[in-house]
Amino acid sequence: MLFKDIIGHHTIKQNLIRTAQSGRISHAQLFIGPSGNGKLALAIAYAQYISCPNKTETDSCGECASCKKYQKLIHPDLHFVFPVVKTTKLKNPVSDDFSKEWREYLSSSNYHKLNDWIDSIGTGKLQGSIYTRESQEIIRKLSMKTYEAEYKVMVIWMVEMLNISSANKLLKIIEEPPPKTIFLMVSETPDKLLKTILSRTQMIQTQKINNQELSQALIANYDISQDEAVSITRLANGSYLKAETVLKSGHGDMRNFELFSQLMRLSYGTKIIELNAWVGEMVALGREKQKVFLIYALGLLRDNFMLNLVPDKQSQLVFLAQKELEFSQKFATFIHKKNIKFLNNELTKAYQHIERNGSDKIILLDMALKIVKLLRIKND
């Protein structure tokens, strides 16, 4: 993994490179940030850079034996821990039981999501975890000497999924690791981590991908126009994974706009029978397109709220197509500080429930009926 293959995060890359060049590498680092922004890839690129004997001022060389092994994820001094699941054959699993699937998953993209990983190992609706036995494996591996590189690197993805017993067993080795050992931990919800682990790490805060850089990457990687890329970027909200979801769904903005404007008009008019038909139309689209629509709707609600709040700064705060703007100039007055939070919560909740395979018909109908009430709230 090379730094140049990861979109954005320029300041973080420079800081990581500086630590490696100066030899002042913290033994326990925690990369935190939202899903789909490349933080796991960033940690792996950092590990590769540390191990590269021919590193430059900006990246690993990509050509030496160490880099080639890192790119294939087979370097003997690179170790991974990640959530796994129990199966009929694996009652007490560890990460090494899924090493082949893990390499295939990492090689498929630089952007990662827990649900995608769990789905890729074919486990249905089972929940992933990092089980107690994993801590024993970590301690065993790190007690050995390095094979080729100067450092042993332990990458722990979704470290918040360590169960309590496993987390407690790792406290001492994280605080006082064997010589030349580096922990690179990755988390999306660090508030779920034990405070004793947080206190032992150097935190690296990663952000959403910059809109302009994300748009440029989409143009470079897919055969789409700049207008399409800008539109998808607005939907993606700084996540490359969400951008890919929109692309793969084939569900364009204008169709989303038609569904959004229809939902809002029917809700404001309290036309329940027609709303039920709208739900039926949404159900027929399937879950992925439903999720894309909800992402779009959340973005357009935000833009309408900003139009209502500061109408004189429209060009600076919102990015709307002509039809969206024409609709929003009339509709924005109904989206205000007394209902925006609740509207946002209802759409977000619907997205989360659909993603968890709830009944889409019930979820969407409940959401629509809540919107009926929320649009009637006056901004007095």
- The residues, ordered by sequence, that sit 6+ positions from 78 with a Cβ below 8 Å of its Cβ are 47, 51, 69, 70, 153, 155
CATH number for 3-205 (one of 2.40.50.140, 3.40.50.300, 3.90.700.10, 3.20.80.10): it is 3.40.50.300
SS3 of residue 152 by DSSP: strand
pLDDT (tens digit per residue) in 262-283: 999 999 999 999 999 999 999 9
Provide the whole-model pTM: 0.74
Q: Which of 255, 291, 274, 264 is nearest to 363 (CA)?
A: 291
Distance of CA 377 to the CA centre of its chain: 34
225 has pLDDT over 90: no
314 has pLDDT over 60: no
- The residues, ordered by sequence, that sit 6+ positions from 19 with a Cβ below 8 Å of its Cβ are 25, 26
Tokens encoding 231: 């539109």
- The residues, ordered by sequence, that sit 6+ positions from 378 with a Cβ below 8 Å of its Cβ are 338
CATH number for 251-374 (one of 3.40.50.1220, 1.20.272.10, 1.10.1060.10, 3.60.15.10): it is 1.20.272.10
> Mean pLDDT score of the chain, rounded to an integer?
90
Domain boundaries, the chain: 3-205, 251-374
Amino acid identity at 112: H
Q: Per DSSP, what are the bridge partners of residue 181? A: 152
